[in-house]
Amino acid sequence: MGWRLQRTPSAHRAAALTGRILAILAALACAGIVLAMTGRAPIAMGADFWDTATGSTAGLEDVGLLVTPLILTGIAVALTTRIGLWNIGGEGQFGIGALAAAAVGLHLDGPEPVMLLAMAAAAAVAGALWILVPTIARAYAGVNELITTLLLNFVAALLIAWVATGPWRDRTGGALAATLRVPYEMPPLGEAGHWGLPIAVAVAVVAAAALTFTRFGYETRVAGANPGAAVYAGIPVRARIVAVMLLSGAVAGMAGMIELAGTAHRLQGGISNNYGYLGIMVAVLARGSCLAVLATAALMATLLNAGIILSAQGLNTSAVLAVTGLILFFTAIGDELAHYKLVRRPAPTG
């Protein structure tokens, strides 16, 4: 008699969820241990953070500002996983979206609502264009999209840095390596928030509904699960790949516009702030489900916010990135372990 681990072919849902929660706790515990070893008091820091983050509406609104781009970049990645692909280029599409929005906002004039819509449209188109070449390469030549989308992130970063420090630089206000303030802003919501959050939530809900309740969503599901069956059923697999990837780029681009018009107001080198990469983690933690992205984006935003609050205590924000990395790492382990279950050795019956 005894207990033993048994691998099962597919992970049980409850086991998978438990694995993820444990992964997050394990990552936090690791971070706490490291903090303790560097002479800080992790429990007190945690309590301090909790008070600041949830003790006031302002704290919650800060999380809201962070969660907005994360929802959108998370959705961008979750969309492509539905058709079996990965958009690793959210970071670049985000930046290019912000750039396009800034271009419209800085160089055109008009009534605010019209201008905001124009900026959003420009950002979506720019994001889609930024993923166009990887999309075509993937759909028609089978080129792996992981590498192509990733490489374009660096091109985007260089382009934004050049524009922000060169042609569009704010020459009035001194040393800022950023453009002039874009005069059009997202309508405010609460003290410090803006309408970006409800828009992002709406995008997630619409995406989830579209994948479940439309023909397009069904066809995407089939094409992602088995391209052979899609061909058999007459589903145009290439067209679906193109549509899903362009949509993904557009959503990431939109995220850039909302960040620009809602939070940053100036285009600058670091505007994408790793949101594109964090979006991959958001989508992975959500297991590709658009509704779960809302929860995992909130989790990620809370962590980022913790880093910002605790930086007052001398904690470097990159420590937070390290923690998110740990979460992903432990999640991968947790996902694997979720395939195992503890079974009792059968008792001898004879």
- Using CB under 8 A, list all residues that contact other proteins: 4-10, 212-218, 221-222, 225-226, 228-235, 343, 345-346, 348-350
User: Three-state SS for 296?
Assistant: helix
Which CB atom, from 289 or from 317, has the smaller least distance to other proteins? 289
Distance CA 59, CA 50 (A): 9
CB of 1 to other proteins, least distance (A): 12
CB of 224 to other proteins, least distance (A): 9
Which CB atom, from 182 or from 223, has the smaller least distance to other proteins? 223
How many CB atoms sit inside 10 A of residue 171's CB?
Answer: 8
Give the CB-side neighbour count of residue 187, counting CA atoms within 13 A: 8
User: Is the separation of the CB atoms in 259 and 98 below 8 Å?
Assistant: yes
Strand partners, 340: 7
CB of 15 to other proteins, least distance (A): 14
What is the distance in angstroms between the CA of the first residue and the CA of the last residue of the chain? Answer: 14
Which CB atom, from 70 or from 230, has the smaller least distance to other proteins? 230
CB of 205 to other proteins, least distance (A): 16
Which CB atom, from 230 or from 257, has the smaller least distance to other proteins? 230
Strand partners, 268: 178
Distances (CA, A) of 50 to 39, 43, 124, 302, 307: 20, 10, 36, 10, 12
Distance CA 32, CA 318 (A): 15
Which CB atom, from 28 or from 284, has the smaller least distance to other proteins? 284
Which CB atom, from 38 or from 226, has the smaller least distance to other proteins? 226
CB of 341 to other proteins, least distance (A): 9
CB of 75 to other proteins, least distance (A): 19
Instruction: Single out the residue of 24, 167, 156, 51 nearest to residue 93, CA to CA.
Output: 156
Residue at 113: amino acid letter: P
CB of 210 to other proteins, least distance (A): 10
Distance CA 164, CA 158 (A): 10
CB of 345 to other proteins, least distance (A): 7
Which CB atom, from 144 or from 212, has the smaller least distance to other proteins? 212
Residue at 90: amino acid letter: G
Which CB atom, from 9 or from 111, has the smaller least distance to other proteins? 9
Q: List Cβ neighbours of 280 (8 Å cut-off, separation of 6 or more).
A: 73, 77, 86, 88, 90
CB of 246 to other proteins, least distance (A): 18
Strand partners, 4: 343
Which CB atom, from 171 or from 215, has the smaller least distance to other proteins? 215
Burial class (CB in 10 A: 0-12, 13-18, 19+), 260: buried
Give the CB-side neighbour count of residue 19, counting CA atoms within 13 A: 23
